Amino acid sequence: MDKFKELKAMIEGAEAEATAFFEKGNKAAGTRLRNAMQKAKVFAQDIRNDVTAKKNEA
């Protein structure tokens, strides 16, 4: 559950960048947002792998 909370915090942290990009047109914020989303994707895949492993061990 800790990893899920960490992923949630990661997404919440990217919210300011999303606002800056979509509402204000800040292109640098778009780059930071893409970077944050890529990290979230990798982290989410790690969580998926953990869930699958735990599900299959039972």
Domain boundaries, the chain: 2-23+30-57
Q: What confidence score (pLDDT) does residue 42 get?
A: 96
pLDDT digits (tens, 9 = 90+) for 1-19: 899 999 999 999 999 999 9
- Work out the percent of the chain whose per-residue pLDDT is above 90: 93
Three-class SS of residue 58?
coil
pLDDT above 80 (res 58): no
Residue holding tokens 């800790």? 2
CA–CA separation, 26 and 19 (whole Å): 9
Mean pLDDT of the chain: 95
Give the pLDDT score at 1.
83
State the average pLDDT over residues 7-33. Answer: 96
d(Cα 3, Cα 20) in Å, to the nearest integer? 27
Tell me the CA end-to-end span of the chain in Å, nearest whole number. Answer: 18
Inter-residue contact 40 to 11 (CB < 8 Å): yes
